[in-house]
Structure formats: C-alpha cells, structure tokens
Amino acid sequence: MRTLATAALFTFLAFGQGEDKTFYFTQPVSIAEVTSMATMTRTLMDLQDISVDQEHQAVVMHGPVDKLVASDWLLHQLDQPGAASGSSTAGEYKISGEVIKLFCVSPAATVADITALTTAIRTTADLQRLFPLAGQKVIVGRGTPEKMAATEWMVGQLLPPETQAPTTDSVAYPSPLLDSRTEADKPVIRIFRMDPKTTNAELTSAVTAIRTIADIQRLFPFENGEAKEKLRKNSQYL
C-alpha cells in the first residue's frame, strides 16, 4: 500500500508541474516586440512561467497544457504575414468561459492612436485584459463575449482596418457592464464627432466640463478624427 501511495503521489506532482513549450516566430520581429507579446500572453493566460529567448527570438513557456495550447494559438495568430490586414476581428479562442480575440486596426493608426483607443475601451467596457500591439496593428483582449463584442464595435467606430471611420455620431450601443436598472435606463456607449476645426485643447476642455456637470466619468477624448467616446448613464441625450 505504501508503494502504491507513493506512486500516486509522484504522478500527481508530475502532472501539476505542467509541460514545456517554445514558440519560434517565422516572421521578422524585434526583441522588444517579442517581449511585449510574452508579457501580454502571461497576463491573458494567467501563465506565470514564461520568458524570452533573445538569442532565438522565441517565447519559452511552462504550465498546464490547456494554457500552453491557448498561448500557442495566440502567438501563431500574431506571427501571420500581414496579420493586421483583413477583417476587424482576426481570430478568437474560447477558454474558461471567456473569449480571447484579436482586433485589427487601421494600418495608418499611430502608436498614440492605438494606445488611446485601448485605454478608452479598458474603462468604458471595464475590460482590463486588453493590450495594444502597435507593431502588428492589433489590439488583443480577453473577456466575456459581451465585452468582446463591445470592443469590436468601438474599434469599428474609431480605427476600422478596412474603411474610413464614420463621420457622424454613432447610434447607442448597449453597455456590457452589469446593471440592475430597467431596460429603458441601462447604460449605453455612444461616440460623438466634433467639428473638424476643434483643437485638442478644446476637446479636452469639453470632456472635463461634461464629466463635472453631467457626472459622467466614463468619458474620453479621442483626438484621431476629433471623436469622443462616452458611456452614457441612460439612453437619452444630455
């Protein structure tokens, strides 16, 4: 009995230790980009044992098989030629009741544009696991299907990969945030376009005033296209 118990314990420990995986990129990437993707993968997959092999420009991972499979899928998506082209949603992967998605943005988007959009989506949709990869022109996120759908909608409104961004105010989009109010009074997301002559200083001043007067904290200026995006407290205009 002692022998059987020892064998069972050894098997359990070996299983708990996980597996090893090394991902080698086939497309040209810098060490900085590899490091960014490794950091992103660590957070999205809750995979702590992950490092960068600078000599071979590879990502070295150790952990549960399901997380390694998901990580391999994600890095493979980012390693495709022209990964930033095509539809707004490059791919998705379901894991633990959530969805991991890649959202392509406009090829003309700057680092500042992608960062600003990521920051706005993080707070507006309460989506913390969302990361910009400027080199690949994508934003990668993990969350509920509702939050992923809201992210795709906002990308399409502000930095669409295939077409020009809309020039008129958006319709109301249902907020993915949990809310116990009646259907008619649930939060929505809207994007309002300013006059093209509006300066960045004027845009910032308007946002500050609205935040204070209307008590709307989920309100952001988006300088590209002079748009601003807002989580409304209800479905009515101010």
Q: Is the pTM of this model over 0.95?
A: no
pLDDT, the chain, mean: 82
pLDDT of 81 higher than 80: no
The model's pLDDT over 125-181, given as tens digits with 9 standing for 90+, comes to 889 999 999 888 999 999 999 999 999 999 999 999 988 888 899 999 998 886 656
CB 235 within 8 A of CB 174: no
In whole angstroms, give the CA distance from residue 229 to residue 24: 39
The model's pLDDT over 46-65, given as tens digits with 9 standing for 90+, comes to 999 999 999 999 999 999 99
Report domain 18-76's class. alpha beta
Domain ranges of the chain: 18-76
